[in-house]
Structure 1
Amino acid sequence: MRSSTASTRTASGAPAGAAGAGGRTRGLVALAACALLAAGCAEAGTAGTGAADGGSAQSPVKVGLVYSKTGPLAAYGKQYLEGFKAGLSYATKGSGAVDGHRIEVEEQDDAGDPAKAVSAAKDLIGKGHKILAGSTASGVALQVGPIAAQNKVLFVSGPAAADKVTGLNKYTFRSGRQSYQDIRTAASFIGDAKGRKVTVLAQDSAFGQANVAAVKAVLGSQGATVDAVLAPPSATDLTPFATQAKTAKPDLLFVAWAGDTSAALWTALNQQDVFAETKVVTGLDLAASYPLFGPAGEKISFLNHYFGGAAGTPVEKAMDEAVTAAGGTSDIFTPDGFTAAQLIVHAVEAGHGSADDTAVLVKALEGWSFDGVKGRTTVRAEDHALLQPMFQVKLTGNGAAAKPSVERALTADEVAPPVTPMAG
């Protein structure tokens, strides 16, 4: 198995919905839910080399990456691309080819817009691409997946966290975590949810409401009482909402927040001494967001998909070395790109260097268990959920000095979502 030679994290993924159901702007903190060249790979669009003898004209494998190169999730897209290039080099042992067939990568920027993504996907399919990957935003993944199924091409979604991507259809897989895994990680901070009170503090928007619904679906079904404190997205004075959250006296305060007022929210919660009354949980996002927590950062219990250095695996070391050599830095969604490349190479290996028979590619991935960046990772055959470790994390220090560390790694089984019937 060429694509996973090491043995066996998220650092708890970005908050539920980060790059997820409602997307997310400016890489700020939220609960719900990346473009340099890695060592050993050529430029995107010409990735890898030809056959080993240099003279064979074997047909290339065309892979289309539809991701957020620009737009509100561009930072995530950059991380994804850096990881993908590192993963392609790793999985092909630096050759960029499978059985003499080079893997050609063509990038398309969807800017986080589903309509642009659908247009790009159709264009790539029309040019003969049998494999698509990317999807930084969930809205994109949920539109591209059906296009892949209609045209019988393999689709490997990226950081998009929406649970509906799992089981979307038999041609759709994912290389990142999903919102359910975020919420199960958050729930691990209080143990048995039965009889517990959980309050979701969020903005009264599609993103915030989706988080409330997700928490009710997961923790409410396990016996917790779930309520919500919702603030208008335009609110700038957040003290009243911090006070409401404190007055609710929950066992767990689950914070799902995005946008420019994140720093103000954490300041208000700290000033109202909410942390003395309850366990406050949110997702740890990309490294650039750490200073936003201010003095409250050391009091928050973070769920996390990944941060650089979280996993401590040989595969993570290989990824980090390649990304660093190319001038990048491993961050929350770098593993999603790396894993996507591992999945694609493994599938193409099953086709002996060809992607023409999609049924072969799908069969190769269903049930595949491999050593990934975060540890042992499995593609569940029934619905293509990506079973993987997640993390409880703490921040130490404030501002630019804030540094994350893993408090507990949760196994893939501990945070596994329920099986979703395959939709198509």
Structure 2
Amino acid sequence: MSGSTTSRRAVLGAVLAAVAVTASACGSPQEAASGGLTVGVVYSQSGPLASYGAQYAEGFKAGLAYATGGTGKIGERQVEVTWIDDAGDPVKAVSAAKDLIGKGVKVLAGSTSSGVALQVAPLAAENKVLFVSGPAASDAVTGANKYTFRSGRQSYQDVLTAKAYLGDGKKVLVFAPDSAFGKSNVAAVQNVLGGAGATVTDIAVPATATDFTPFANQVKAAAPDLVFVAWAGTTAGAMWQALDQQGVLASTKVVTGLDIRASWAGFGAGGTKLNLLAHYFDGAADNAAYQALKAAVPGGKTDLFHPDGFAAAQMIVHALQGSPDDVDKMVGSLEGYSFDSVKGKLTIRAEDHALLQPMFQAKLSGSGDALTATPSGTLTPEDAAPPAAAMKG
């Protein structure tokens, strides 16, 4: 026990040292290029996905310390991180990325939002810089171009995890926002469940909606065998309340992704009735990377998007170890790369840069703030692998 405690303290100390290193990057990226190695992280520090961005950033700092043995260095060169808030706005993200590229930065990361990732990816290809997208789940990020990778899961992997819940049902309805994220989920359900013989329809809810009662009534009237709910952001609580109040949770099988821990109480009284697919939740896996992350995050509680930041840092360190200055060599070092991370073994598929990874099924128990998640099933990286995408550039 004392050895474990000592180990965790050592890792935590390394993480704090790495955080101090990243916080010190106040010179221009161009000035740092000859000595240090600057990574530009453009992510949702504010905006509707700020809580996701915060977890990603905490995971990234922990992953950087873990991957560099607490030094924050590649050889003798310090990894210096420039953090920029895009507020979930693709225009701000593109402007920030262009500014970083103009200052000589060769490695970009972040993209909490799918809409942002899909705008930054072509910029990476145009300028031949490495781009490791973060929590953005759009399938279109996979295969976007040779310079674009992802450190999180994609919508197709969510849907493959949900497929087992369909059973003998044939009528599927997708309830999702009218956004890049929502459209990606609709397309994935049509491909996976529609391809298996189900009839798939969808209700696209305006991203600005705050009253979900009319949409919940539409779901109930459709009487599907399975409702696949894809939702993200601060309006989730109101959405689930409407589905519950209009009797949707009691009248059909509802499958959805398990969001961040703070959102679970928002499921309301019907939370324990849901069939949950999970990218990640604390306790879903246990290994050295998980223990390092757990020791680093506030309160020792890991959450949904911590692993995305952790894996991004691991990927970037590996790429920089392959070649700190040649981006094409960085790309080559990542293609086909397998490594142990918080979720377990991850593999970057060479032909389209999909990130093959375990996926989890879960159930909730308890109520309110005392809800807990336990795994009810695990899909192997192979079982959750999306079909190969044609590389676009």
Deviations 1:72-93 (A, max 9, x none): 1111111111000000000000
Letter in structure 2 aligned against 1:385: A
Is 2:115 the partner of 1:139?
yes
Q: Contact between 2:360 and 2:375, CA under 8 Å: does it hold in 1?
A: yes
Q: Contact between 2:237 and 2:263, CA under 8 Å: does it hold in 1?
A: no
Is 2:22 the partner of 1:44?
yes
1:366 to 328, 335, 338: 335
Alignment: residue pair count: 371
How far 1:341 sits from its partner (Å)?
Answer: 0.5
The CA distance in 2 between the partners of 1:234 and 1:62, in whole Å, is 39
The 1:333–1:370 alpha-carbon spacing in structure 2 relative to 1, beyond 3 Å, is same
TM-score, normalised by the number of residues in structure 1: 0.81
The CA distance in 2 between the partners of 1:361 and 1:344, in whole Å, is 8
Unaligned ranges ≥5, structure 2: 1-13, 26-32
2:291 aligned residue: 317
2:353 aligned residue: 384
Q: Which stretch of structure 1 is more off in the superposition, 121-130 or 385-394? A: 121-130
The 1:293–1:112 alpha-carbon spacing in structure 2 relative to 1, beyond 3 Å, is same
Letter in structure 2 aligned against 1:135: S
Letter in structure 1 aligned against 2:287: T
Q: Contact between 2:48 and 2:233, CA under 8 Å: does it hold in 1?
A: no
2:131 aligned residue: 155
- Listed as ranges, the matches of 1:187-336 within 5 Å are 187-190=163-166, 196-202=170-176, 208=182, 210-229=184-203, 234=209, 236=211, 238=213, 241-257=215-231, 262-271=236-245, 273-324=247-298, 329-336=301-308
- Listed as ranges, the matches of 1:175-194 within 5 Å are 175-190=151-166
Q: Contact between 2:115 and 2:180, CA under 8 Å: does it hold in 1?
A: no
Is 2:321 the partner of 1:349?
yes
Q: Contact between 1:38 and 1:82, CA under 8 Å: does it hold in 2?
A: no
The 1:237–1:278 alpha-carbon spacing in structure 2 relative to 1, beyond 3 Å, is closer
2:57 to 81, 89, 97: 81
2:376 aligned residue: 407
Q: Contact between 1:58 and 1:100, CA under 8 Å: does it hold in 2?
A: no
The CA distance in 1 between the partners of 2:99 and 2:210, in whole Å, is 42
Unaligned ranges ≥5, structure 1: 1-36, 48-56
2:311 to 336, 339, 350: 339
The CA distance in 1 between the partners of 2:170 and 2:45, in whole Å, is 42
The CA distance in 2 between the partners of 1:408 and 1:191, in whole Å, is 15
Q: Contact between 1:387 and 1:416, CA under 8 Å: does it hold in 2?
A: yes
TM-score, normalised by the number of residues in structure 2: 0.87
The CA distance in 2 between the partners of 1:261 and 1:138, in whole Å, is 17
Q: Contact between 1:374 and 1:389, CA under 8 Å: does it hold in 2?
A: yes
1:125 aligned residue: 101
- Percent identity between matched residues is 60
How far 1:201 sits from its partner (Å)?
Answer: 3.1
The CA distance in 2 between the partners of 1:247 and 1:89, in whole Å, is 52
The CA distance in 1 between the partners of 2:212 and 2:75, in whole Å, is 60
How far 1:263 sits from its partner (Å)?
Answer: 3.6
* Higher relative contact order (CA closer than 8 Å, sequence separation 6+): 1
The CA distance in 2 between the partners of 1:359 and 1:206, in whole Å, is 29
